[in-house]
Amino acid sequence: MPDTTTTADPYAGTASAADDRIYTVSGGDWDDVISDVHEHNAERVVVNMGPQHPSTHGVLRLVLELEGETVTQARVVVGYLHTGIEKNCEYRSFTQAVTFLTRADYLSPFFTETAYAMAVEKLLGITEQVPVRAQVIRVMMMELNRISSHLVWLATGGMEVGALSAMLYGFRERETILDIFEMITGLRMNHAYVRPGGVIQDLPPGAVEKIREFLAIMPKKVDEYHNLLTGQPIWLKRLQGVGYLDLTGAVALGASGPIMRAAGYPWDIRKTQPYLGYETYDFDVPTQPDGDCFARYLVRLDEMRESLKIIEQCLDRLRPGPVMVEDKKIAWPAQLALGGDGMGNSLDHIRHIMATSMEALIHHFKLVTEGFHVPPGQVYVPVESPRGELGAHVVSDGGTKPYRVHLREPSFVNLQAVAAVCEGGLIADVIAAVASLDPVMGGCDR
């Protein structure tokens, strides 16, 4: 049997009893493994799945205890993508920290940026002074991001249960959103676009038209997903009645967002504790009563439609105006402009500080190197991210760097539900159940 070896495994530890056998499976025929397992009368098999596995959304590791094909215990091991983002923020100015935080949940960076920026604004006491245009742009970017995040979920989740067309469709539409992001922020990912005080630059010419084009095509695409998947027998068989989590379980495990709404409870922070003027937008909170993977799928598709409604209202509300607070002690001094070699400080601004105003140069230098002081205190600001409640707990000691930044990451908290949605089911359903939780390991491990 070339593919199953029973040699010593350096990672297996020393605790295993003499008759425990370790199978290192890398390709080959599953029947060979099974027959070997049966030969040794092993009723209980512990399978290690991940951290490098195509259907674990990055580097999630699952340890599954099986009896036959039934999962009796599921344990989730995280931390493989821990990059110390929170620790690094303590060594950077309040503005620089955005550059780190945007890399946490790489599929929905605008939500992390906005939660953090709103927390810093609350500490500074300038929440009311953030210009309306900046707030509208933030809402618009977040809702575009919600759609792109759900599309990645549809694409990867669909692929994992064998619906390859969903993968192609999902990534195709996401690309159009990433093009919009690239046009507005300069980057497809890791934007660092939302800063304390507003957003770093205004929408470029043509952005509104590009978003309107997207709004024109996207509703038809959502219909396409419904036509492709919603009534499809294999899709239904893989998702219906799988990965069940009721409302009690969701609240106890802290699983918010689409998971809770798919269990029938319309809890959405945009509605219940509105921020950035969400109370003035007209949109619904979709729910489903069933609490299974299929309900989560329907909730996410419906949320895309609601996000489209919000984006349309944002475009109608955009009025010319500043996108950063007036206070020059907080607003980033540089005026970005597009030059021959890409985005950078505008030459007018450089001419102003280098040639005409010593005070402006000192001000620019101090604000960029030292940053602004934030009065001591702590705040917690939650926003409704595509995965649930994303909160920023920011502590300031009065200095120019955050004393502590903590992200309440929905991916991290929701993964605690893995045992609840997997145990008692079949091993094949583990894939669908974990995918329906939509974990993003960059956010989970931070």
Binding site for another protein (CB under 8 A): 78-79, 82, 84, 86-88, 90-92, 122-126, 129, 251-256, 265, 267, 272-273, 325, 327-330, 357, 359-360, 362-363, 366, 369-380, 382, 389, 391, 393, 395-401, 403-404, 406, 408, 412-413, 415-416, 445-446
Shortest CB 319 distance to another protein, Å: 22
Shortest CB 393 distance to another protein, Å: 5
Shortest CB 22 distance to another protein, Å: 19
Closer to another protein at the Cβ: 161 or 383? 383
Closer to another protein at the Cβ: 30 or 365? 365
Shortest CB 421 distance to another protein, Å: 14
Shortest CB 259 distance to another protein, Å: 12
First to last CA, the chain: 41
Coil, strand, or helix at residue 18? coil
- Rounded to the nearest 5°, which phi and psi values hold at 5? -115, 150
Closer to another protein at the Cβ: 84 or 219? 84
Shortest CB 140 distance to another protein, Å: 26
Q: Calculate the alpha carbon distances from 217 to 8, 143, 210, 222, 303 in Å.
A: 57, 16, 11, 9, 16
Closer to another protein at the Cβ: 145 or 256? 256
User: Could you tell me if 130 and 195 are in contact, meaning their C-beta atoms sit under 8 angstroms apart?
Assistant: no
Neighbours of 446 (CB within 10 A): 26
Beta strands in 54-197 (DSSP E): 61-67, 70-77, 194-195
Q: For residues 302 and 226, give the distance between their C-alpha atoms in angstroms, rounded to a whole number.
A: 10
Closer to another protein at the Cβ: 161 or 353? 353
Shortest CB 394 distance to another protein, Å: 10
Task: Tell me which residue of 9, 98, 111 sits closest to 387, measured CA to CA.
Answer: 111
* Relative orientation angle of helices 427-437 and 293-317, to the nearest 10 degrees: 20
Closer to another protein at the Cβ: 94 or 225? 94
Shortest CB 408 distance to another protein, Å: 4
Q: Calculate the alpha carbon distances from 331 to 58, 123, 198, 254 in Å.
A: 37, 15, 8, 36
Task: Tell me which residue of 252, 173, 165 sits closest to 216, measured CA to CA.
Answer: 173
H/E stretch holding 248 reads helix 247-253
| Angle at CA of residue 123, ends 117 and 127, nearest 5° | 65
Closer to another protein at the Cβ: 150 or 393? 393
Shortest CB 110 distance to another protein, Å: 20
* Matching residue, tokens 């390991």: 441
* Longest distance between any two alpha carbons in the chain, whole Å: 85
Coil, strand, or helix at residue 408? strand
Shortest CB 153 distance to another protein, Å: 21
Closer to another protein at the Cβ: 54 or 398? 398
Closer to another protein at the Cβ: 228 or 379? 379
DSSP characters over 304-351: HHHHHHHHHHHHHH--S--SB-S-TTTS----EEEETTEEEE-HHHHH
Q: For residues 203 and 311, give the distance between their C-alpha atoms in angstroms, rounded to a whole number.
A: 14
Give the type of residue at 79. Answer: G
Closer to another protein at the Cβ: 316 or 359? 359
Shortest CB 446 distance to another protein, Å: 8
Closer to another protein at the Cβ: 84 or 321? 84
